[in-house]
Amino acid sequence: MTENITRQRYAPISIVLHWAMLLLITGAYACILLRENFERGSDLREGLKTWHFMLGLTILLLVVVRIAARILTAKPPITPQPSAWQMHLSKGVHWGLYAFMLVMPLLGWTILSAEGKIIPFYGLELFPLVNPSKALAEQVQEIHETIGTIGYYLIGLHAAAALVHHYFFKDDTLKRMLPGFRRV
């Protein structure tokens, strides 16, 4: 019975990483949005920016672990199986989300490097990816912000699809990733 349940759910490491990434991404977005409520140069505003950077770099670190977990653990089938077009769309959104989780922190790291700033990571200072360049920092900042906006849509589409599968298609797409779910 336990083996059958395991095959119907993602591996625990994948479930934990999935929900941890949601929390980290939410935190990164929240920090960068909340900073606007505080005066430029204030300790709170600078603290929120620092947390934004560190959460982004944590996402980068964990997405590598997540990709390894995805490669090394079995992906449970969806029951009942969705149509081919839904599976293709799902793969596209998942590829987009993984690209988002890889590219955004690297762009943020590049921005800080190009601005000549310290790259903070929980008490450590990471090496710069590029030499200081105000022009490069501005260009990469625009790309980072644009992809950040696209990220809202990707995450929203992913969440909406999970809910549509659960409530309308009545398959186990969502249940496979929920913590603690046991299928009877």
Domain ranges of the chain: 2-167
CATH class in words for 2-167: mainly alpha
Provide the angle, in degrees to the nearest 10, between the axes of the packed helices 12-34 and 134-167.
130
Residue 59, pLDDT score: 98
Contacts of 65-70 with C-beta under 8 Å, sequence gap 24+, read 65/17, 66/14, 66/17, 66/18, 66/21, 66/101, 67/98, 69/11, 69/13, 69/14, 69/17, 70/14
Spatial separation of the C-alpha atoms in residues 57 and 51, rounded to whole Å: 10
pLDDT digits (tens, 9 = 90+) for 71-94: 999 999 999 999 999 999 999 999
pLDDT digits (tens, 9 = 90+) for 22-76: 999 999 999 999 999 999 999 999 999 999 999 999 999 999 999 999 999 999 9
Spatial separation of the C-alpha atoms in residues 176 and 184, rounded to whole Å: 13
Q: Alpha helix locations (H) across the chain?
A: 2-7, 12-34, 43-72, 84-114, 134-167
Q: Residue 181 pLDDT > 80, yes or no?
A: no
Indicate whether this model's pTM tops 0.95.
no
